[in-house]
A and B are shown apart, each in its own frame.
Chain A
Amino acid sequence: MDVVELSRLQFGLTAMYHFLFVPLTLGLSVLLAIMEAVYVMTGRAIWREMVRFWGVLFGINFAMGVATGITMEFQFGTNWAYYAHYVGDIFGAPLAMEGLMAFFLEATFVGLFFFGWDRLSKVQHLVVTCLLALGTNLSALWILIANGWMQNPVGARFNVATMRMEVTDFGAVIFNPVAQAKFVHTISAGYVTGAVFVLAISAWYLLKGRHRELAIRSMTVAASFGLAGALSVVVLGDESGYTAGQNQKMKIAAIEAMWKTEPAPASLTLVGLPDQATHQTRYALRVPWVLGLIATRTIDQPVEGIDDLVRHARDRIRSGTVAYGAMERLRLRPEDAAASAAFAAHVDDLGYALLLKRYAPAVTAATPAQVEAAALDTVPSVAPLFWSFRVMAGLGFGFIALFTTAFVLASRRQLERWPLFLKVCLWSLPAPWIAAELGWYVAESGRQPWTIDGVLPTYLSVSSVPASDVWISLTLFVLLYSSLAVVELMLMVRAIREGPGQWGAGAPVSRPPVVAPAAAE
C-alpha cells in the first residue's frame, strides 16, 4: 500500500474508533442533565442515584472519547499536511473554536461533575451537568461545521500568491446548510445511542429482577428522549439527503446506484446488486417517484445519474485545466491581465484540474484519455455505499419502532410484563453504533475522490512522509486501540454488573479478596 492508502486507512480506522465513544457521550450527557433536573425538581434520592450510576459509565466512556479525539486533531497535521496547508485558513478556525467555545467547557466541568457532589449545592451541580452537556453538544457543532465545509466548501476562494484556499465569508462557513443538517442529524444519532444504551442496560436489570426502581425510571426517560431523537434522526437524515442532492449529486447518485438519469420524478431503488464495471444495477426493486421527491422535493426535476455526472466532471476538468494554466502564468507574471481574467473565469473548476495531476503531471498537456480517466475517478465505490446506506436507514426506522413501543409500555407502566420486549431492548444495544458507523462511512466514502469536495483531491492531500512511518503508526494505533477496547469493555461490563450503589471508582469494589488500598502497593 502507498502513503495515500495507508493514511486513508489510518484516518478511517481512528475516526470510526473515536466515533464509538462520541455518540454515547453526546446522548448520555443530555440524559444525565435530564435526570438531574428531575432530581432537583422532585428532591427524590433515586434520581440522584440514577445520575451517579449512569455518570460512572459516562466517565469510562468519556475518557476513551478524549483519548481518541486528540489523534484526530493531530492527524490533519501529521498525515494530511498538504491538506493542512491548502485549507487550514478555513478548516483550522472551527477546530480552534471548538477548543475555545466547547471543549474547554466540557473538560473543565467534567471533573466537577464527579468531584463536586459534596462541594456544590443541588442547583449548582445541575448547572455543572448542563454545562457539561452543552459543551459536548457545541463540540459536535464545530466539528460538523468543519466537516460540512469538506462536503460543501462555501465562503472561500483560491489565492495564487499563497497557493491555498482562503476565507472570504466566514458566516457562510458557519451557516453552511450542509453543516447545519449534519449537526442535527449527528447529535440526534448520539441521543438515540445514549437512549438505547440506557434502555438496554435497564432492560437487563429488569430481566434479572435487579434495581427495579432505577431501571424502570431510566427506561421511561430513555424511551421518550430516544423517540424524539429517533424521529429527528430520520427527518434530519432526509434533510441531509436534500442538501446533498443540491451539493453532492455524485454522492446521492452513488448511494442510490443511479447510473443513468431517469425522467423526473426519479424512482428509488430499494434493493439490488450494483455493478461498478458495467454501470448497471441487477435485480433492482424500484419504487417510483420516491427518490425524486427526497432529492429535489419536486416532481418535475430530474435526479442526475452517474454517467451524466461523469460527463459534467469531464467538462469541469477541461475548464479547470484552463484555470491551472492561467495560474502557472500568473505565478510568473502576477500582472498578466489575460491570465488573470482566464483564471477568474475558471477558478471554480481548479480542483478538477488537480484530479488530472495523477495521470498528467503537466496538467495543461493532458490527453483526452487522461481526462477520461480522471473523470471516471469522480465515481466513488457504489456497492458499499448503496448497502451501508440501506442498513443505516433501516436501523433508523427500527429505532422509531423500538422507542414507540417502549414509550407506550412505559406510560402504561407495563414494561416488566413483556420480557420478550425487554430482550429486544437488550439485543438492540449494538444497533445505534452500527448505524452511526455506517452513516459516517456513507458520508466520507461518498465524498471520494475528494477531501474537500470539488476543491482538493484526497491523493494530493497527504503528507510527504515515508510509507514505513505510516505503517508504524497504523500498527501502533491498531495494537493500542485494540487493547484499550478490551479494557474499556471489561470495565463497562464490571460497572454494569456491580450496578448502582457501588459506584466507588477508587474504593476496592471488586469481588473478594478485597485488597485494602495500602496493601495494593
Chain B
Amino acid sequence: MASYELLRLLWWAVLGVLLIGVAVMDGFDLGAAMLLPIVGRSDMDRRVILNSVGPVWEGNQVWLILGAGAVFAAWPPLYAVAFSGFYLAMLLLLVALILRPVGFAFRSRVADARWRNVWDGGLVAGGLVASLVFGVAFGNALLGVPFRFDDTLRMTYEGDLFGLFRPFAILCGLISVVMIAMHGAVYLAVKTGGDIQRRARGVAVVTAIALAALFVLAGLWAAQLSGFVVAHAQDHSGPSNPLLKAVIREPGALMRNYGLEPWAILAPCLGVGGALTTAALSRFATPRPLAAFVASSAAVAGVIATAGVSLFPFLLPSSLAPDAGLTVWDASSSQTTLAIMTVATAVFLPLILAYTAWVYRVLRGPVTAATVAADHHAY
C-alpha cells in the first residue's frame, strides 16, 4: 500500500482535478444557461442554446455530484465543516441545482411564452447562483472561516450567510461568474452558428478580458491579506485530527508557496494566459473556434489550481481558532479508505472519460434551428 503521505497528496490533487472537472464540464452548461437572455434573443435561439448542451449537461453535472462524494469519502472533516458551515449558501446552491434539471426537462413541453420565460429565469438564476456561490466559497476558504472544534471534534461555526460576502470573497464570486460565462460563451461559439455564434463570441471576448483583469486584481489583493501558516513541521502521516497542530497568522501567507516552489507560478500564469488567449481566439479565429474552448478550459484550470496552490497545505483554514484549520495532513480519511478510493478511481475514471468522449463524438456537429426543429426529442 502506498504511504499515507503520498495518498493524501494524491487525493489533494484528485480534489483539484475533480473541481476543475466540474468547472470545465458542468461549467459550460451553467454558463450557456446563464447567457440565455443575452445570446438568445428569440425562443428558437434559446432552444438552440438549450439543445447545444441538452444531451450532455446531465452527465456533466455528475462531476459535481462525484466531487461532493469524493470530498465526503476522502476529506470527511472538510465535508462536515464546509457543508454545515456554509448552510444557507449551500441551500442556495441546492435550489439552483434543483431548478436546472426540471428547467431543461419542463421548459419546452408547453408552448406558452410565460411558461418558457419562467423556466428560462430558473435556468439563468441556476447558472448565476451556482457560479457565484462557488466563487464566494473559494474566496472564504482563502480568507479563512470562523469555525472551531470541541474535544469530540464536533464543529461549531460562528458566522452567517451575510458574513460570507466579504469584499474579497465577492471579488472571487465575480471571477467565478465571468469565468463560467466565458466558458459557456466559448462552448456556444463552437456548437452553434449564425447570430447566436456571433453574439456568443462577443460575450466570450468581453468576459475573458474581464476574467484576466479581475484575476490579476485578486492576486494583488491576496498578496496584502494575512493568511495562515502551520507553525511547526507537521507529521504528514499522522492521525486525521485537526487539533494536534499550532497555526499562526502571517501577512502574505497566500504567496508563500510561490517562494518555496517557484514553478507553482505556472498556475496563475495559465489562468491569465488562458483567458487572454481565449479573448484573442474568440475575436480573430475562423468559424469553429475549438481552440478557444481549449484555451478557456486551460484558464479555468489555472484559476482553480491557483486557489489550491495558494492555500496548500490548508484545505480550509479557521479564522476563529486557527489551530483547528483543516490541512491536507490532518483532515483526510484513513489510509485504507484512501487506498480503496484510489483503486476505484484509477479503474473507473478512465472508463468514464472514454465513454463520455464517445458520447460527445456521436453528438458532434453544430446545433441549429433546423436540427432542433427536426428532432422530436429536442428540448
Contact = CB atoms under 8 A, between A and B. Distances in A.
Interface of A: 52, 59-60, 62-64, 66-71, 73-74, 76-79, 81-82, 84-85, 88-93, 95-101, 103-105, 107-112, 114-120, 159, 161-164, 166-168, 170, 331, 463-465, 469, 472-473, 476, 480, 484, 487-488, 491, 494-495, 503-510, 514-515, 517-521
Contacts of B356: 104, 108
Interface in B80-139: 80-84, 87-88, 90-91, 94-95, 97-102, 104-106, 108-113, 116
Contact of A81 (B42, B81, B152, B334): B81
Interface stretch (B70-78, B165-173, B252-260, B282-290): B70-78
A67 B97 contact: yes
Q: How large is the interface on B (under 10, 10 to 19, 20 to 34, 35 or more residues)?
A: 35 or more
A518 B44 contact: yes
A292 B334 CA distance: 41
Given A84-B80, A503-B376, A93 B337 contact: yes
Contact of A170 (B61, B110, B340): B340
Nearest to B239: A161
Interface stretch (B199-207, B269-277, B347-355): B347-355
B84 A107 contact: no
A463 B87 contact: yes
A507 B62 CA distance: 28
B52 to A, nearest CB: 11
A99 B111 contact: no
Interface stretch (B153-161, B189-197, B209-217, B309-317): B153-161
Contact of B102 (A82, A465, A484): A484
Contacts of A62: 105
Contacts of B113: 515, 519-521
B55 interface: yes
B101 A67 contact: yes
Interface in B208-264: 239-241
A95 B83 CA distance: 16
A520 B72 contact: no
Given A62-B105, A66-B61, A110-B58, 7 more contacts: A93-B340, A97-B344, A108-B359, A111-B359, A161-B241, A463-B84, A520-B113
Nearest to A481: B98
A78 B378 contact: no
B9 interface: no
Interface string B336-370: 11001100110011001001100100110000000
B336 A99 contact: no
Nearest to B113: A520
Nearest to B90: A78
Interface in B33-49: 41-44, 47
A518 B151 CA distance: 63
B98 A85 contact: no
Nearest to B356: A108
Contact of A112 (B108, B111, B363): B363
Contacts of B116: 520
A211 B68 CA distance: 45
A88 B79 contact: yes
B227 to A, nearest CB: 25
24 contacts: A64-B102, A67-B101, A78-B84, A82-B155, A85-B80, A88-B80, A89-B333, A89-B337, A91-B72, A92-B69, A92-B337, A96-B66, A96-B70, A97-B344, A107-B58, A108-B352, A115-B363, A161-B239, A464-B84, A476-B95, A487-B106, A491-B106, A506-B47, A506-B378
B74 to A, nearest CB: 7
A473 B87 contact: yes
Nearest to B40: A521
A111 B56 contact: yes
B359 A163 contact: no
B59 interface: yes
Nearest to B70: A96
Contacts of B99: 67
A516 to B, nearest CB: 8
Interface of B: 41-44, 47, 51, 54-59, 61-62, 65-66, 68-70, 72-74, 76-77, 79-84, 87-88, 90-91, 94-95, 97-102, 104-106, 108-113, 116, 151-157, 239-241, 333-334, 336-337, 340-341, 344-345, 348-349, 352, 355-356, 359, 362-363, 372-373, 375-379
B344 A120 contact: no
Given A111-B58, A506-B108, A92 B73 contact: yes
Nearest to A462: B84
Contacts of A103: 62, 65-66
B15 to A, nearest CB: 12
B76 A164 contact: yes
Contacts of A120: 362
A476 B345 CA distance: 36
Given A119-B362, A168-B336, A74 B94 contact: yes
B72 A88 contact: yes
B48 to A, nearest CB: 10
A34 B340 CA distance: 35
Contacts of B100: 67
A510 B109 CA distance: 8
Nearest to A73: B68
Contacts of B348: 100-101, 104
B111 A517 contact: yes
Contact of A508 (B51, B65, B111, B241): B111
A503 B80 contact: no
A189 B349 CA distance: 31
A163 B331 CA distance: 12
Contacts of B90: 74, 77-78
Given A63-B104, A107-B62, A514-B111, A115 B375 contact: yes
A355 to B, nearest CB: 15
A326 to B, nearest CB: 15
B72 A505 contact: no
A122 to B, nearest CB: 14
A520 B341 contact: no
A510 B111 contact: yes
B42 A465 contact: no
